[in-house]
Structure 1
Amino acid sequence: MSKSPRKFVWYELLTTAPAAAESFYHNVIGWSAQDSGVPGVAYTILHADATPIGGLMALPEAALKMGARPGWIGYVGVEDVDAEAEAFTKAGGVIHKAPADIPGVGRFAVVGDPQGAALTLFKAASDAEPAPVPRGAPGHIGWRELHAIDREAAFAFYADRFGWTKGDAMDMGPMGVYQLFKAGGDEAIGGMMTKLEAMPVPFWLYYFNVAGIDAAAKAVEAAGGQILNGPHEVPGGDFILQGLDPQGAMFALVGPRG
């Protein structure tokens, strides 16, 4: 088990139309964008106010030919990318992209858990910690949600690999149990559930904070996105929606009514 709970540290969109995707998320969430400045790499940094929260890049042609589709992927901070990637495979997972360096930024590997949900393992070149962000701050990530083939088996895997612990569990009736999880601290940072049969593969879904869910829902549709579910209220009083951006990447929003 990891010595301390591992946390999500970055979020990345791989898309077929970077400029259009940048415009969509600016209109819906308010992110600003800036080129990464990494030589030879077309990579855009997304900011909530002045804070970088994630990145955006074109989905590689080789990945498209192998059937990959636009989507978001989360980065989890680890102490040793190579060792953690190897541990994923020993526990039944896979390595999609072998460990590699990003000059001046850090080392990463793209992996899949034993049920097929993808994540990126990351070790930053700098040990600097980001400043804490108030809960619900617009533009930041408010929730992380795993839609697994087997929720209990998925939680056991991540508890062992990342040191995550269980929070409350909510009975959602025919949809099963929704298990909250923590990465240190008292507050849950996400939830896990057994995916609906209609969903073809397991995946991680990320919820971005907005100042008002109703205004954001209108912005999604005005910018060419599609709302799949919501807005509806969740425990705690916030409202959520799930949708597709114009390129087909699934995303979710969370915030108060308004």
Structure 2
Amino acid sequence: MKMSRYLPGTPCWIDLGSPDLDVSRAFYTDLFGWTAEVSPDPAAGGYTTFHQGGSPVAGAGQLMSDSAPPAWTWYAATDDLDATAARVEGAGGKVMVPPMDVLGIGRMAVFMDTTGAPFSAWQGGSFPGAGIVNEPSTFCWNELMVREADAAADFYGRALGWTTQASDQPGVAYTEFKCGDRSVAGMMPMTSDRYPDDLPSHWMVYLAVADVDETAERIGQLGGVISIEPTGSPAGRFAVAGDPCGAVFGIVTLT
């Protein structure tokens, strides 16, 4: 699906914080067939935009601090970043990186929700966000893994205007976040024994692939790891992986 504009509250971009951009560029270009464009602006610190079919689909930059773990993050579109930051604080969240200009193409900020999960927001200027979504090798879904589901639902409703819809699958405690009438993200409570007690609330970024099993095998060949083997779900067959630097992401063949 080609995109040129995102409604406020809709996830519009994903990027990777990496301790080694050369390793990350090599891994993701090999895995997804992306091309990598490194910003020539010294102020960008080597920020890389990945393209699929000529359209920007994801980014990668150096970690903001030595103590930060490698991770993928997502950005909610907004028409007024300062107002979004105020709503985040009003809902009990934290502004980790205040609204800032980004190379004249837009403005960004980094937040933490009331459960401790970080996320970002983007006020697009000349760059609105990903040019393609929901196709193989592009961003397709976001999932919040959380211990306090009610608190998270309240926070995102107040901060981003999201509403919730409980899963209609029997025995599945899953919530869809909706922006208007469109589902834009999901939420899964970490209540079973398979989640370590010290695992914090976090967002999982999913990328669509044509064949999860083949992609999972390729991840291992490229130096990544599979933490959740290919598994069936109502949304499609999925797996969870870690790249060679340790950043975790999901892959899914959507039904």
TM-score range, shorter chain: 0.7 to 0.9
Identify the residue that residue 228 of structure 1 maps to in structure 2.
227
Q: CA separation in 1, counterparts of 2:190 and 2:219?
A: 24
Q: CA separation in 1, counterparts of 2:121 and 2:13?
A: 10
Equivalent in 139, 161, 164 of residue 162 of structure 2: 164
Equivalent in 5, 16, 19 of residue 19 of structure 2: 16
Identify the residue that residue 73 of structure 1 maps to in structure 2.
73
CA shift in 2, pair 1:130/1:215, >3 Å: closer
Identify the residue that residue 180 of structure 2 maps to in structure 1.
184
Identify the residue that residue 4 of structure 2 maps to in structure 1.
none
Identify the residue that residue 54 of structure 1 maps to in structure 2.
58
CA shift in 2, pair 1:230/1:96, >3 Å: same
Q: Does 1:88 align with 2:71?
A: no
Q: Do the aligned residues in 1 keep the contact of 2:78 with 2:84 (CA within 8 Å)?
A: yes
Q: Do the aligned residues in 2 keep the contact of 1:242 with 1:253 (CA within 8 Å)?
A: yes
CA shift in 2, pair 1:49/1:244, >3 Å: same
Identify the residue that residue 146 of structure 2 maps to in structure 1.
148
Q: Do the aligned residues in 2 keep the contact of 1:46 with 1:53 (CA within 8 Å)?
A: yes
Deviates more, 1:151-160 or 1:122-131: 122-131
SS of 1:111's partner is: strand
Q: Does 1:26 align with 2:29?
A: yes
State the shift of 1:79 in Å.
1.8
Q: CA separation in 1, counterparts of 2:247 and 2:37?
A: 21
Identity %: 31
State the shift of 1:43 in Å.
0.5
CA shift in 2, pair 1:206/1:184, >3 Å: same
Identify the residue that residue 246 of structure 2 maps to in structure 1.
248
Aligned AA for 2:56?
Answer: P
SS of 1:177's partner is: coil
Structure 1, unmatched stretches of 5+, are none
Structure 1 stretches of at least 4 aligned residues deviating more than 3 Å after TM superposition: 126-133, 170-173
Q: Do the aligned residues in 2 keep the contact of 1:73 with 1:120 (CA within 8 Å)?
A: yes
Identify the residue that residue 108 of structure 2 maps to in structure 1.
108
SS of 1:189's partner is: strand
Q: CA RMSD in A?
A: 2.3
Aligned AA for 2:57?
Answer: I
